[in-house]
């Protein structure tokens, strides 16, 4: 229930509607529900006409609550030059839309990793800071500031605001910083890597609270700075919005369709699963096995699908608005997700997993046993991790799905325990944390 006195929270995020993709969902859903818990949010973001979004989703604008103030600023970024030099769109996280890099792309990644630290969107910071200064000079007050990243340069805005004005500051870090799985692809020099790590340490040290999305990311950050109190790092996972899943589930009756939504590349190492799907389809020709990928799929992974002999059974659908993506989840028999096969991947917990859980479908998760994703799936009774090379377990899992499909093509799970990951429940946790922080409780 809202308290008698609203807490004023300034949320600073680069990704905001009409930006699309996974990065926009967290802050958007927080803002959607914060008013229910006595928190008045103000959003500071970038002007979409100047922003460099990998994807846009205009439909998300309708989810911004009426009455919430959204302040948009200009920015100064190098992505127009990037597009002119390469003829390519703005890179996705992990360069998923670039495929195998050529010499030009490698050179540009080197420039990005060494001349734009922490990242090229740092050009937005001075515009954002100027906007906050204008608000404060006009007499506005905020009880706390939340900065959400990536881009991790956004955290430097919080760092500066705390230094200038002593504002209570929550650093919301949706991904690791210098430990992100594609960090090595930026080809940092020792000096650039040192400077980036220094920024990371300053943010982790100076923020009043650090929000992370998985237990492993908390362990990762704590290991860097073991003298910091554990309570400073709060696990506040991503989730799903119950209102997105009020429509009925409609699994197909003419095939067993396995659906993946979002970005996927060869780094996710689903090759053995593709082989197992092909083998299962050959064994059971009476059960049509189909694959559907909704979103960005790398050229290399498409080649793996073709090599497995599954191209004719696979449907590729380009990026769609979020509500349409939910429709595709609900029209699947089972869902596919994968964790990149990279070092320190135990804490990678894709935001999509919570929407997968809300869809109540069996989940085939290619990734390491004992990871945060594996633990979550088993906790909710939605599946388990299938190790990258465990062909036997993959085939056994698929055979079970085929046997169940023969009995009934509706494979929906009877009772997935995922209510604690509803966005409204998670937003309540954020509101309580902000209140403790502003009241001096640490």
What per-residue confidence (pLDDT) applies to 157?
A: 98
Q: Residue 185 has what pLDDT?
A: 81
Q: What DSSP letter does each residue of 148-204 carry, written as one string?
A: EESSTHHHHHHHHHHHHH---EEEEESS-STT-TTGGGG---HHHHHHHHHHHHHHH
pLDDT given for residue 184 in this prediction: 84
CA nearest to 144, candidates 165, 125, 122, 124 = 165
Cα 151 from Cα 79, distance rounded (Å): 14
158 and 126 in contact (C-beta within 8 Å)? Answer: no
Gap between the Cα atoms of 59 and 19, Å rounded:
10
Is 122 in the same domain as 204?
A: yes
Is 402 buried (19+), middle (13-18) or exposed (0-12) by CB count in 10 A? middle
Task: Give domain status of residue 2, yes or no.
Answer: no
Do 40 and 173 fall into the same domain?
yes
HSE of 375, CA atoms in CB hemisphere, 13 A: 10
**Same structural domain, 67 and 164:** yes
What is the phi-psi region of residue 370: left when phi exceeds 0, alpha when psi lies from -120 to 50, beta otherwise? left
Q: In what order do the strands lie in the sheet with 233-235?
A: 69-73, 39-46, 7-13, 144-149, 169-173, 209-212, 233-235
Nearest alpha-carbon partner for 401 in 328, 333, 338: 333
**Does 36 fall in a domain?**
yes
Same domain, 343 and 432: no
Beta bridge mates, 212: 173, 235
Which structural domain, as residue segments, surrounds residue 66? 7-239+423-438
> What pLDDT, on the 0 to 100 scale, is given for residue 442?
56
Same domain for 62 and 20: yes
Q: Tell me: do 250 and 346 sit in the same domain.
A: yes
Give the pLDDT confidence score for residue 399 in this predicted structure: 97
- In terms of domains, do 195 and 133 share one? yes
The answer to whether residue 257 is domain-embedded is yes
Same domain, 60 and 193: yes
d(CA 291, CA 306): 12
Q: Is residue 1 part of a domain?
A: no
- Reference 156, options 112, 114, 202; nearest CA is 202
- Are residues 227 and 253 both part of a single domain? no
The DSSP element (H or E) to which 72 belongs, if any, is strand 69-73
Q: Residue 90 is part of a domain; what is its CATH number?
A: 3.40.50.2000
Which residues are 334's β-sheet partners?
Answer: 258
Q: How many structural domains comprise the chain?
A: 2
Distance CA 369, CA 373 (A): 9
Q: Which residues contact 151 (CB under 8 A, 6 or more apart)?
A: 14, 118, 119, 120, 121, 122
Q: Do 257 and 196 belong together in one domain?
A: no
CA–CA dist 199, 155 (Å, integer): 9
Query: Strand 314-317 relative to strand 385-386: parallel, antiparallel, unpaired?
Result: unpaired
Is residue 341 domain-shared with residue 249, that is, in the same domain? yes
Residue at 231 is within a domain: yes
Nearest of 74, 81, 11 to residue 40 by alpha carbon: 11
CB-hemisphere CA count at 13 Å for 427? 26
Question: What strands, in cross-sheet order, belong to the sheet with 385-386?
Answer: 314-317, 289-294, 256-261, 334-338, 363-366, 385-386
Do 38 and 55 belong together in one domain? yes
Q: What are phi and psi of 364, to 5 degrees?
A: -95, 110
Non-local (6+) Cβ contacts of 79 within 8 A are 52, 90, 120
Residue 140 falls inside a structural domain = yes
Q: List the chain pLDDT tens, one digit each, 442 residues.
A: 344 479 999 999 999 999 998 889 999 999 999 999 999 999 999 999 999 898 899 999 999 999 999 999 999 987 554 444 444 444 545 444 445 566 666 667 666 766 778 998 999 999 999 999 999 999 999 999 999 999 999 999 999 999 999 999 999 999 999 998 888 888 888 898 999 999 999 999 999 999 999 999 999 999 999 999 999 999 999 999 999 999 999 999 999 999 999 999 999 999 999 999 999 999 999 999 999 999 999 999 999 999 999 999 999 999 899 999 999 999 999 999 999 998 889 989 988 999 999 999 999 999 999 999 999 999 999 999 999 999 999 999 999 999 999 999 999 998 667 888 999 999 999 999 999 999 876 5
Verdict on whether the full-model pTM lies above 0.85: yes
């Amino acid at each position: 229930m809202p308290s008698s006195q609203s807490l004023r929270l300034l949320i600073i995020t680069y990704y905001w509607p009409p930006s699309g993709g996974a990065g926009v969902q967290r802050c958007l859903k927080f803002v959607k529900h914060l008013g229910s818990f006595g928190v008045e949010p103000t959003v500071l973001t970038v002007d979409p006409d100047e922003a460099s979004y990998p994807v846009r989703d205009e439909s998300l604008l309708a989810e911004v609550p009426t009455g919430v103030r959204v302040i948009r600023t200009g920015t100064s970024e190098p992505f127009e030059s990037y597009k002119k030099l390469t003829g390519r769109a703005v890179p996705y996280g992990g360069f998923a839309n670039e495929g195998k890099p050529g010499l030009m792309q490698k050179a540009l990644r080197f420039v990005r990793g060494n001349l734009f630290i922490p990242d090229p969107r740092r050009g937005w910071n001075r515009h954002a800071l100027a906007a906050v200064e204008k608000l404060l000079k006009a007499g506005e007050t905020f009880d706390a500031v939340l900065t959400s990243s990536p881009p991790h340069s956004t955290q430097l805005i919080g760092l500066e605001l705390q230094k200038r004005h002593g504002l209570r500051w929550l650093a919301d870090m949706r991904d690791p910083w210098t430990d992100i799985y594609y960090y090595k692809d930026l080809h940092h020099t020792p000096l650039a890597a040192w400077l980036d790590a220094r920024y990371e340490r300053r943010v982790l040290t100076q923020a009043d609270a650090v929000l992370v999305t998985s237990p492993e990311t908390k362990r990762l950050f704590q290991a860097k700075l073991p003298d910091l109190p554990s309570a400073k790092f709060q696990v506040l996972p991503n989730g799903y919005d119950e209102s997105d899943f009020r429509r009925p589930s409609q699994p197909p009756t003419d095939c067993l369709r396995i659906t993946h939504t979002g970005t996927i590349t060869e780094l996710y190492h689903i090759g053995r699963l593709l082989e197992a799907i092909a083998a299962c389809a050959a064994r059971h020709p009476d059960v049509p096995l189909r694959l559907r990928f909704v979103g960005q799929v790398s050229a290399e992974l498409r080649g793996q699908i073709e090599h497995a002999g599954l191209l004719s059974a696979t449907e590729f659908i380009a990026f769609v608005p979020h509500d349409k993506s939910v429709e595709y989840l609900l029209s699947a028999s089972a869902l596919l997700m994968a964790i990149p096969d990279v070092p320190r991947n135990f804490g990678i917990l894709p935001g999509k997993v919570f929407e997968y859980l809300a869809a109540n479908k069996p989940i085939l998760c290619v990734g390491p046993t004992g990871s945060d994703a594996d633990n979550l799936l088993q906790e909710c009774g939605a599946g388990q991790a299938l190790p990258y090379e465990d062909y036997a377990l993959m085939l056994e899992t698929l055979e079970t799905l085929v046997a169940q499909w023969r009995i009934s093509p509706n494979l929906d799970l009877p009772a997935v325990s995922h209510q604690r990951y509803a966005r409204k429940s998670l937003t309540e946790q954020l509101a309580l944390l902000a209140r403790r922080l502003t009241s001096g409780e640490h």
